[in-house]
Amino acid sequence: MVITEVRIKLMDDNNENERLQAFCSVTFDDAYVVRDLKIIEGTKGSFVAMPSRKLTDRCPGCGCKNHLRARFCNSCGGKLDEDRATRDADGRVKLHADIAHPINSACREVIQSAVLKSYREERERSKQPGYVCTYDDFDSDYDTTYTQVGGEMGPAPRYRTHGSHGTRGGHAANHEAPAQVARKEKAEGFGAGIL
């Protein structure tokens, strides 16, 4: 596994979360991208946090999902136990789970070294006149997807999509006006012919 590209998005100086220094994306073997890694200033220097999601649990009353810090259910309004989150070995509350992460310390060190090196280089580039961040145009390099057509794998048609979202499942961007789309869906979709 070779890290072939790291893109950095520096945080503004007026950032409300002073510890968050940057977001980054890492490309492996020119084939696989992991996005939304964070560079955070810790007590022993900067470190890389892997992309994560908020952990949730279900309301005992209605079954609706709620973030572990929620004091009341988002659906029924019932009071939730404030001490329901699990704790790690150090006694800290576990509120997030990594989406992607290295499974050994050697891999973590390779990723962290490459990301922090790119972060330092990006900070230096940002001081130059005419600096442009490359993080936001990440999808423009990777807009070919592969789909199965007639039993063979091949490149899907290239479509321009919304901003930097990239191609999702090979679907084309809809160029019809929203009112036309709504009328068409109503005429052809669920409940067609019901007035």
pLDDT tens digit sequence for 69-82: 899 999 999 999 88
Question: Is it the case that residue 155 has pLDDT exceeding 50?
Answer: no
* pTM summary value: 0.59
**With pLDDT > 90 as the criterion, what percentage of the chain qualifies?**
46
For residues 141-155, give the mean pLDDT. Answer: 45
Q: In 10 A of CB 145, how many CB atoms?
A: 16
**pLDDT category, 12, cuts 50, 70, 90?**
confident
Mean pLDDT confidence for 171-178: 44
Token pair of 92, please? 């800290």
pLDDT tens figures, 92-141: 888 888 889 899 999 999 999 999 999 999 999 999 998 888 776 545 44
pLDDT at 149: 45
45 three-state secondary structure: strand
Residue ranges covered by each domain of the chain: 54-98
Give the residue among 167, 174, 172 at the shortest CA–CA distance from 146: 167
Give me the phi and psi of 54, to 5 degrees please.
Answer: -75, 140
Nearest to 10 by CA among 100, 134, 129, 109: 134
Residue with more model confidence, 85 or 174 = 85
With tokens 């423009």, the residue in question is: 140
Note the maximum CA span of the chain: 66
List residues bridging with 153 in a β-sheet.
Answer: 148
Average pLDDT, the chain: 76
Q: Is the pLDDT of residue 142 over 90?
A: no
The rounded distance, in Å, linking the Cα atoms of 177 and 58 is: 39
**Closest to 24 in 3D by CA, of 88, 80, 100, 90:** 100
Q: What is the β-pairing status of strands 65-67 and 56-58?
A: antiparallel
Q: pLDDT class for 162, splitting at 50, 70, 90?
A: very low
Average pLDDT over residues 24-39: 93
Q: Between the ranges 71-80, 83-92, 173-182, where is the mean pLDDT highest?
A: 71-80
Q: Convert the pLDDT of each residue in 13-26 to its tens digit.
A: 766 678 899 999 99
Token pair, residue 178, equals 């929203």
Rounded distance, CA 125 to CA 106, Å? 29
Query: Does residue 154 have a pLDDT over 90?
Result: no
More confident residue, 165 or 7: 7
